[in-house]
Amino acid sequence: MKVTIVDYNSGNISSVINSFEEVAKDRVNIEVTSDLIKIKSSDKVVLPGQGSFKSCIDALNKIEGLTDTLNEFVISNKKPLLGICVGLQMFAEVGYEETETKGLGWIPGKVSKIDNQKGKYKLPHIGWNQINIVKDSKIFQNIENNSHMYFVHSYEFIPKDKTVISSLTDYSSKIVCSVEKENIFGTQFHPEKSDKMGLKIINNFINL
């Protein structure tokens, strides 16, 4: 089995690579590439994201054919994909960080700035916070409810269809922590920085 981490210059993804390699050990081939043929031949894909919504979308679009290849992988071929942080946010139709930017449109919704209630809550939302698991998700197998995960973000994904939400956290309001829609999985938190529970989530995704 091959799991591909998409490398499209979205910031430092070394911690994502290290965590997947640690979990996979010798049983799974972890590849880091932007090569379209290699992505197409993968069993699963990981879409990391670090930086702004706009910078990540722009970086994806700079690699000719990458967005089309991801659409084919996810929408046409229904293969599993895990989006992490901005990787999840890009599932949306539109994001409002920096300027209005069109997203991948896989899950209807928008990405907008967290309401910090006039400075009552610090932005970015950074550090450990509990997640409230609100539906059975394949990537949450053997994950206890109210486990702590590591977050770094100022923007949140607000899906139109609330049934895709698999966990929430309390920060200013109920913020979407993760989504699951058929073969599409995403976490706003960083599983690769979330200690043993985060590694379990990575393991669950690899084992899908």
How many other CB atoms are there within 10 angstroms of residue 136's CB atom?
9
What single DSSP character describes residue 139?
G
How many other CB atoms are there within 10 angstroms of residue 173's CB atom?
12
How many other CB atoms are there within 10 angstroms of residue 77's CB atom?
10
User: In the annotation, is 85 catalytic?
Assistant: yes
Dmax over Cα atoms in the chain, in whole Å? 50
If DSSP codes are grouped into helix, strand and coil, which group holds residue 37?
A: helix
User: In the annotation, is 190 catalytic?
Assistant: yes
Q: Are 153 and 56 in contact (CB under 8 A)?
A: no
Catalytic residue among 31, 56, 85, 156: 85
Q: Which uninterrupted H or E stretch holds 196? A: helix 195-206
How many other CB atoms are there within 10 angstroms of residue 122's CB atom?
12
User: In the annotation, is 153 catalytic?
Assistant: no
Catalytic residue among 97, 156, 180, 192: 192
In angstroms, the CA 206 to CA 5 distance is 12
Catalytic residue among 125, 156, 177, 190: 190
Q: How large is the C-alpha radius of gyration of the chain?
A: 16
Q: Are 93 and 102 in contact (CB under 8 A)?
A: yes
What single DSSP character describes residue 177?
E
Catalytic residue list: 85, 190, 192
